[in-house]
Structure 1
């Protein structure tokens, strides 16, 4: 019994010596140590996933439903933001460590969209969307339109021109020039009447004739309506809605028909500038001479300029997505 015990002890000692002096065993032990370190740090996939999930909770921005505001009427919704955990993990796996710059976001749409709302005018875009839309009502001022189009092109800005039907009939080349430059066009009635007091049949006729002449002349189908002088009654809004047009108003007025000096017009607009602003203007000398500086100052406020269709879209713009961490702790014709 003692002899077997001694033999067993000797074999264990020999095997231990072989294992300790074997270089392969050294590599095995080193590997175990490295795995142990990875388990205790964020470089191990499980911990990296957990870290990304923790950050995702802090950075999530809820979507905003489109609503009828008591003051601003129909207000577009706005997509929320959420970290895509799996995509972010794949983006960080190679370096095996957390990097906030490698987080991948996905946009989450709201449950209620602008088309879901009842007939109601739009006075502004979503107040959290860093975009502004210039709307240009056209029934006269032909001599200023080419200069305004040139300025818009220079800055790669696209606006929405609301065209009077009678004006389109008399100036088809200018109407096509506006559309060919990439701008959006809308309905501004046919003969510029006071829509608030116009009988229902006449309202329908004004809108129908204008849509038809714009589509025949430019090829564009109209989906926005701007009542002349901003005058309307609820029935006018409902009639436009029945014709698949949402009524567009404004939140900032240039009052350019008063022929202000450019400095006065710019100060007036910039004093009231805000996210989601709709800026009303016309083809006038005041606006044509102010437009270049106005665009520059709006851009200096980190606001993008786009058409009404761009403004009311729920998608967050690129800069807004890039700044999402701060929010968690916030064109062309379309």
Structure 2
């Protein structure tokens, strides 16, 4: 019995060694294949490393994901034709080491500093100036981000639908001016039923740690714009990549709306939604 088991073990070991050797031979052949060499050469020229975020105390300026060529999948895509085809290159994403994925500890002050993109935010807790905003969004076809108070939203759902139809993005401003452990979920559910998108951002201009903790517990990132209610002159001075610009809708002077848009776009910046700006 022991002799038979010993023979089986020896046979298994022989097969294992044979498999490892065969696999090694195939790997070496593939590595030296001219097609694989082309893929590797392309990879060396086109891989982009992730851009790490800038962190200072509890504040973060977002990083940016890297992009690398998956040489194995790219090779498999091309080997039937036995010729290199750039269109069949397979890319994979690589997140920064300090990613915001499942990390809600920081006040995000800017998007990444690589792309010429900025976001405009309006805080909404009443009807004052809202019709003016809707009119301007229609006229200028610009993407605006609205943080809407839950107490107001409950009574004015139709306004939220109007804004969603205009391709604006809607987020949670809290309930009666603050984020509440219970009502944050109620408002999120209402927003998500209107927009059919996740309500995943909190606005915290005062850097209130208790409010951030409530948002963190709901897996919501907290943003803290550094440019709040700027004049046109201040906007010109502070424009930069990844900037978030926040305005109180009630106090906004809409005679400056077109000038605000022109000031941003004339300097080569694209106005985008926060879903695009707050993205690694």
Flag whether TM exceeds 0.5 (same fold). yes
Note the C-alpha offset of 1:190. Answer: 0.8
Structure number with the higher strand fraction is 2
The answer as to 2:118 corresponding to 1:132 is yes
Structure number with the higher helix fraction is 1
Q: Distance in 1 between matches of 2:91 and 2:264?
A: 28
Q: What TM-score do the two structures reach when normalised by structure 2?
A: 0.69
Aligned to 1:62: 49
Residues 303, 183 of structure 1: CA spacing in aligned structure 2 closer, same or farther, 3 A cutoff?
same
The answer as to 2:277 corresponding to 1:290 is no
Q: Distance in 1 between matches of 2:40 and 2:268?
A: 30
Aligned to 1:98: none
Aligned to 1:269: 235
Q: Distance in 2 between matches of 1:139 and 1:151?
A: 18
Structure 2: gaps spanning 5 or more residues:
1-33, 79-86
2:279 is aligned, of 313, 326, 331, to: 313
Aligned to 2:101: 115
- Number of aligned positions between the proteins: 240
Aligned to 2:269: 303
Aligned to 1:165: 150
Structure 1: gaps spanning 5 or more residues:
1-45, 91-101, 196-202, 256-264, 315-334
Note the C-alpha offset of 1:116. Answer: 3.7
Cα contact 1:68–1:117 (8 A) shared by 2: no
Q: Secondary structure at the match of 2:95?
A: coil
Note the C-alpha offset of 1:118. Answer: 4.2
The answer as to 2:225 corresponding to 1:239 is no
Aligned to 1:252: 227
Note the C-alpha offset of 1:55. Answer: 9.0
Aligned to 1:34: none
- What RMSD, in angstroms, separates the aligned Cα atoms of the two structures? 3.7
The answer as to 2:167 corresponding to 1:182 is yes
Aligned to 1:226: 203
Note the C-alpha offset of 1:313. Answer: 2.0
Residues 186, 296 of structure 1: CA spacing in aligned structure 2 closer, same or farther, 3 A cutoff?
same
Aligned to 2:187: 210
Note the C-alpha offset of 1:153. Answer: 3.6
**Mapping of residues 146-161 of structure 1, within 5 Å:** 146-161=131-146
Cα contact 1:72–1:124 (8 A) shared by 2: no
Note the C-alpha offset of 1:148. Answer: 2.2
CA displacement, residues 145-167 of structure 1 (integer Å, 9 cap, x when unaligned): 23323333444322221100111
Aligned to 1:74: 60
CA displacement, residues 97-136 of structure 1 (integer Å, 9 cap, x when unaligned): xxxxx9x996753244321434222111012221101111
